[in-house]
Each structure stands twice: as structure tokens, then as C-alpha cells.
Structure 1
């Protein structure tokens, strides 16, 4: 598969450094990360525990600010933004998918998605239709009124993906989206994220430890000790099957 000609960089990280704590006990978690996320691509990020993956995901999602470096999201440089401006950028341009789903248990599937729309200031009569459409796009059009307690793990994660899609963000960030799922549902969810990237032309970045899901990646990034240790485009190089087997 060749890189889509109409792909564009939607997230750009340049020289990202993140230091946690204060001297003399400070820890440099990220040590100069350069990374681009392109529309229409599923990027998978791997690496050992403690390598900085979650911290990097939080910075890319404008939850944490880098100690040094420049982050640009949807053409907007974040370096001098206030917390309020970062929150507005996050609401408009970033959708999150969590390992533990983070669904409100007292709300139905469609109501959970509508809640995400409301946080993006999308409400009124059209919000229900947008939420229902998002659920339809992830294969849950027949389950829009289901409560989380009546859903399987795979269905809950699909609602989480629909919620991330609601409001048409520029990028979707997923933190271990398959970790709580069995092998079959985990593969289905990762395949869905790849389809979302391709069909909606959004940039999708997912942290994973599951080598079986690598076949769906347009790009695989390895993080080790706060640095990018490797970057591979397996669909182009033909190494997808080889990497998934290890």
C-alpha cells in the first residue's frame, strides 16, 4: 500500500522533552521526540512499560504540556496557549479512546456519544442524529439504546470509538484500546480503527502491546527510554506479517 497522495500532517511534534518532578529528583521521561501523524493513517506505538508512551500520548492530546519542544495540532502551535485555549483545542480536534472505555454507566450508547458532542458544544435536535450516525459507522446502529451493563467488552469499545469520532476531530488517540479485550474482539477493534482512519481521513494513533494487531498499521513506531527507537511502514516494506509473528 502506498502513502495516500492526499495525506497531510495533522499533528507535528518537534524536539519534545518532558521532565517530571523537580531537581534533584526530576526524571526526563521524553528525550527529544520528533513525530508526525498524517491523515488517513493508523499509527501504532509500541515499547516497554515506562518508556514514555502514555506521556507522549498525553502531550499529543494536549493534556500535558512539554517541558521543551513544539507541538502543532491542526496547524495550531500550542507552545504559548493558555490552559483554556489548550482545552478548547483538545475538545475541537482530539478524540480519545481509553482502555477502560470510560462510559457513563447510567447512559445508553447514544447518550454517551451525545455527551461527547455536548462537550464540543454540539447539541440540539441534530446531536441525536450525529450520535446515531457515529454508532452506525462502528457497527452499532442496532444497539444505540443499549446500556453499558448489557454490552460486551467489544461493544463498549466500539461505543468509545464512536464517542471519539463524534464532532469530527482531526486526530484520534487510543491508549491500549485492545488491552481489556479477548483476542477476537481486540483484532476487530484494531481493524475498525484502521478502517476509521482510511474512511474518514483522520489521523489515528494507538498505543498497543499486542503484536497480532500490527497487520493493520500503516506505520509502527517503537518508543524506548523516552526516544523513538524505530519507525516502520510494514504495508509498504512487506514486513507486516513478519512483525506480527514475533
Structure 2
């Protein structure tokens, strides 16, 4: 009688894979631990950005514009808009209300005050005061012009990385615009000179002529890194001390070289 030895089939070796693409002019890159899931991960990242942009851009029919036009309390909102507003409120608390992310002015329907591209941080009355976010609903006082593209991109990156891990079961590294997020990776990636914290993000914002910093890179436990990177320019030379007091890690580049905040 012949002896038959059954050899189990070899498990396929997982190979990482990555891709880069543009979505409405926004740079997006995706890396996954398992190449088999890259096409689906790409679609999830693209949809995450489109959902965030549709919800928050300055178009007259965006969800955020319609919400702030009503001024009503407890208006039902989509999960992505709730995440953006929650991050916005968190950023306001982190900066003591000193960060300006929009204009407190009357908003005429059909007359957007900002594009879905880059945002300025004008010094005006605090436009974020009075915003409240509950489970599935939010309140934005009427007449508030909120410019949140950087936060929206940060939320989109965080949501995409989380969704890839939860839905596809593979570790993911997602960069959307100026924010990177990673979930489920054995080794945290390093981007723009900083390690992406577990469950967090790293954001990079270029400075304007009025900022002492040519570039600010901030790592934080949530999407608020985008707001903190913009705040670093508003804070000027006080940025290293203020970021350190918050417990944020940062890399600030200026004419005199780099300042690392640990």
C-alpha cells in the first residue's frame, strides 16, 4: 500500500502595493499591505475624498452651506460632515478659540465665499463659536462662513485608512492633500519627517509671506493635525512653545533651519 502524503497548499505571500492619483486636482496616494486589495482601497480613498468635499465645499448646494443657512438646532447631518465639524470643534478647543477658520458674515445663497481649494485664516470674530455636534446631528449658527478644506481632507484621509482596514482587513497608509493617515501597519510610516501616530494623522501646511515658517508639519492623534499645522503659522515664533504645551509633535521649517517639537 502506497503512502500518500498530503501537502497543504502554500499560502500566498502578501506583497505591499501602492498607487498615486488625482481627484479633482487633489493628490491622493494609497499603500496597502496586501496588493490584492489595492484597487478596492483606491476606490475607498477616492470616495472618502469626494464625500468630504461634497459635504463641505463652498458650493451653494453643499451640505455645510445648507446647514449654516438654516441656523436651526439639531439638523441631521451625514457621518462625514459630523466628523469634520467634530474635528473643527476639537481644533477650536486645542487653540483656545484663537484659530480663525472662516468669516462670521452673512452668507447669500448661491454666493460662496471660498473655493474647495486652499483656505486662508483671516483674523475675524470667532466663526466657530456656537457649533455643536451630537450623534447624527449638528448646529451651526446662521451666517457663519466656514472654510474647512484642510480639515475635510484630513478627515477624508483618516476615514479612508480606517475603512480600508475595517472593510478589507489590510493595513493601509493614505495621503490626501496635505494629510497622511495610517491604520493597521506593523511599522508606523514616517512622512514629511514625522512618524504617523497610531490612529492619528500627520499634516503639512506651507507658510505664507507673513509666516516665519516656510512649512509646518504636525502629528496629532486625530484629523486636528491639519488645523494645528495652520495654527503654527498664525502663532508665528510662539508656535514651538504652544505646540509643545499641547503635546503635539511638529517640524517647523524657517530661514534659520528646522525646529523640532517633541
What is the TM-score when the length of structure 2 is the normalising length? Answer: 0.31
* Larger relative contact order (Cα-Cα within 8 Å, sequence gap ≥ 6): 1
What is the TM-score when the length of structure 1 is the normalising length? Answer: 0.32
